[in-house]
Structure 1
């Protein structure tokens, strides 16, 4: 087990997690603690000993530069390696940090390789590098360490696509030829409040009709009231009142051209029921159909 302890100071949980998981991936057994800002870091550093501090520059309550200045004023922390983790790279800020006693920089965003190099360099100067010897991670099959932020956050278990490698994609779904219009036991017309739809009668009972319509830009709605006109020639037409009880795709694909509607009758008019009975008995539209199924 490594005896090296590292304090990660950053007000952003994502960055703290990134650094912590990166360190634990690179150096199994390393002890990593965290602080949400400079003030909290002061409290932690006052009661615990650390071999390395990785600290953000911009934080509430106390900045990284202020924490660095305070550390260098403490006898116990004067020589502890202090790495500034920041996106600030302009000359003025670099000079400020150097004057305050910073050990090194690591810029955001960073890779695991960069994190490893900076940590090794800082611990080597402090004579702590040997303590990490027993904590070397196993090399990956590609011969290197995970080198991106995703790998750090996932403990090195993320799949990485190498440049130049052919991408593996899911096989494209088989294309099927457009199906012909559905056939049924008769034709009809479904009259909705705002439009009329031609339909194929797939099944008919005294309770409901199973209809097939062509899908349009505007889909019918469940519980929408409608009138079903059944024309069977010889001037016979039945106009049945009802509502749309169910709507489903006729085929198991989002791109289906046809919808299957269950149209429930609300009429209790004996004359209409008698007409339905004669249609069913005549067998002109009869099929094996379980009402309500």
Structure 2
């Protein structure tokens, strides 16, 4: 029987590698192809058949939505299972993808259980899951995949659904400051910045409001208040960055590169994270450039002040 083939389409090599690792550990007999954007994927699909497409939404040259529309208009790929993998969780985006003919939808960041569950469901519906049965390892292999990928791409169990009603900055007050407990130190934030320098960080344990301390085209240094969970190094993350009165939001995909206490004491209530961005979409890089030019940094924020 021919191998089951999957095409992974994402402009971020980091994300492609995570998905490949999870699939290969759980489905040893699977054949994996990859493309860096929708245009490259279209060129590949024009010459080849595929059993499943896992595709990012926001990419240079051709978006995931445009690739989906092309697939559904192409005789060879009208019924090919197509899972949209994206940080866009807005209700209108989900509806837009459904109308375009998407098979399923998974939001970033996601757990290995979510990813593998969606893949198994899509392949079962297309009648191709049984082709992998003979090459699939035992449940212990599944656990190994979960352990490795969860550490890197962890998220809430129903990430995409929970994002539909998520506010821009959960727990933020009307003044634009993250809500803190009565016993927590009050951050000395430069009030002239208003909403600038705020954002929300989506991690494996949930969603946290954050303050942007430094921002570049490659990474961001953010401050978060200690929560019930501690982010892990190499954990996948999405930084939702809001700027200006128009409510413009950028969803920046990345991972936790470093984490440290922001105060010189063992019980520091503030943590400083360095996030490395993995997006190469020119639109997002342009957005970051404008953010940096406007001045999003809380340079005078002193934890515990």
TM-score by length of 2: 0.47
Return the structure number with greater relative CO, CA threshold 8 A, min gap 6: 2
Query: Rg bigger for which structure?
Result: 1
